[in-house]
Amino acid sequence: MEKADITIHNCLMLPMDGKNRIIEDGSIAIENGRITYVGKKARSPSFRGEYNIDGHGKIAMPGLINCHTHLPMTLFRGVAEDQPLDRWLSETIWPLEANFHPDDIYYGALLGCLEMIKSGTTCFADMYFHEEKVAEAVEKAGLRAVLAQGIIEVGNKERGERMFKENVDFAKNYNGYADGKVTTHLGPHAVYSCSPEILAKVRETASRLNLGIHIHLAESQDMAKEIKDKHGFSEVELLENLKFLGPDVLAAHCIHLSKREMALMAKHKVKIAYNPVANMKIAAGMAKIKDLINLGLTVGIGTDGPASNNSLDMFESMKIAALLQKLHYQDPTVLPAETVVKMATIDGAKDLRIEDSIGSLEVGKEADLILVDFGKPHLTPLHDPYASIVYSTHGDDVDTVIVNGKILMENRKVKTLNEDKVMRDAEKTAFDLLTRAGRVR
């Protein structure tokens, strides 16, 4: 008899452990926040003292990892829709952000955490302002996150210096926060919004402090052209000249890349966050994911901020991630379902440089996992679990969420948050913010 805090029996398991296996009638044991058994129930030892979860009719898999979002923007979901990007930013998003109170960030982020728990995301990479408020929400919710305070210099050196300092302070102070569930990245917003001087300082600081860097890259064709006109180099070439690129850089979007730029990305093993929904919704374009993967690059999936998606549901993003690549390459075999599940789990963990801790169901890893209830009409019959997860499952099908061995949701009831209160607080926050900004309906 071995001791366990939690056991799950009789589940169908997608361990995503690199062995391409599906385990039927599987068991998982969790002790002190870590996975201590993964495998056939028939071969598992007996456990004592545990809280047992019945996994019958459920798929057990690693918690999903959302590699790029701006969580507090839940508050702006639906505020201004179907508009040209420049008008959306200048008339709505920036005026609203100028009216932010730090607590607004907390309530927006908490709503985002609730939405992520309810749709099976256990870890995410975020970039925003007042990121310490996002950290507080993450701790309250019990999630795992890699957070970066954004730097937007946009030609104002003083502002750039101040934001650079805040970004480093945040990264130092919050690395390891919430019992280690929060780690930090530096957050230069983009090549077009940060000067080469700031970017060079970010690179030097990241290397010295062993921190990752979260940045937007090659998202907008117009901005890419502006960079080229101004510097004579593309965004990626400019970063190459600054010796900025490396395996610790998480680059979101990567849409407008030449072959030479892709090769530079591959040479430096830059990590990529693919955000198909937001890229389509704001008509930014499409990352050539098949080409990037063929060059050996690691690609995770992100939802991007909920104002430009308008959802944090990674199941939806997984489906659209696959559909978009099949269409572009005119080939239904591109990004098969198992590859997409890999992108949303273990490759996401690699993107965030925490693949030793999470991203797969393996003994010794931290217990971040979800159970998907496949006893639903739209998931019947279950011929292929990978296809079911990517093409048919919604976030609402997630039954149970465990992070670091703690049950955050069971039978769709969230244990760490008062769901109604989180929604009411966010509604009130959004209403007050719109009132302050003179935008009340």
Which residues in 135-164 contact a second copy (CB under 8 A)? none
Single-letter code of the amino acid located at 394: H
Write the DSSP string, 359-372: SS--TTSB--EEEE
For residues 136 and 157, the answer to whether their CB atoms sit within 8 Å is: no
Question: Least CB distance from residue 266 to a second copy, whole Å?
Answer: 25
Burial class of residue 296 (count of CB atoms within 10 Å of its CB; 0-12, 13-18, 19+): exposed
Question: Least CB distance from residue 308 to a second copy, whole Å?
Answer: 9
Q: Which of 41, 68, 70, 118 binds a second copy (CB under 8 A)?
A: 118
Angle between helix 102-118 and 419-436 (nearest 10): 140
Question: Least CB distance from residue 392 to a second copy, whole Å?
Answer: 5
Which CB atom, from 211 or from 426, has the smaller least distance to a second copy? 426
For residues 17 and 360, the answer to whether their CB atoms sit within 8 Å is: yes
Q: Which of 380, 418, 421, 435 binds a second copy (CB under 8 A)?
A: 380
Q: Binders of a second copy among 76-105, rule CB under 8 A?
A: 76-79, 81-85, 88
Q: Which of 18, 375, 413, 421 binds a second copy (CB under 8 A)?
A: 375
Does residue 419 touch a second copy according to CB under 8 A? yes
* Whole-Å CA distances, 302 to 38, 222, 227: 28, 22, 25
Evaluate the CA torsion angle 85, 90, 96, 100 in order and state its sign.
positive
Q: Which two tokens stand for residue 235?
A: 């965004």
In terms of DSSP H, where are the helices of 43-174? Answer: 85-87, 94-98, 102-118, 131-141, 157-174
Q: Binders of a second copy among 390-409, rule CB under 8 A?
A: 391-392, 394-397
Which CB atom, from 83 or from 241, has the smaller least distance to a second copy? 83
Question: Least CB distance from residue 83 to a second copy, whole Å?
Answer: 6
Single-letter code of the amino acid located at 345: T
Does residue 437 touch a second copy according to CB under 8 A? no
Does residue 431 touch a second copy according to CB under 8 A? yes
Helix (H) or strand (E) holding 319: helix 314-328
Part of the chain binding a second copy (CB under 8 A), chosen from 6-14, 137-145, 244-252, 277-285: 277-285
- Pattern 48-77, binding to a second copy, x per CB under 8 A? --------------------------xxxx
Q: Which two tokens stand for residue 102?
A: 């730090």
Does residue 46 touch a second copy according to CB under 8 A? no
Question: Least CB distance from residue 112 to a second copy, whole Å?
Answer: 8
Does residue 291 touch a second copy according to CB under 8 A? no
For residues 154 and 191, the answer to whether their CB atoms sit within 8 Å is: no
Which CB atom, from 47 or from 76, has the smaller least distance to a second copy? 76
Q: Which two tokens stand for residue 164?
A: 């650079």
Part of the chain binding a second copy (CB under 8 A), chosen from 200-208, 226-234, 361-369, 382-390: 382-390
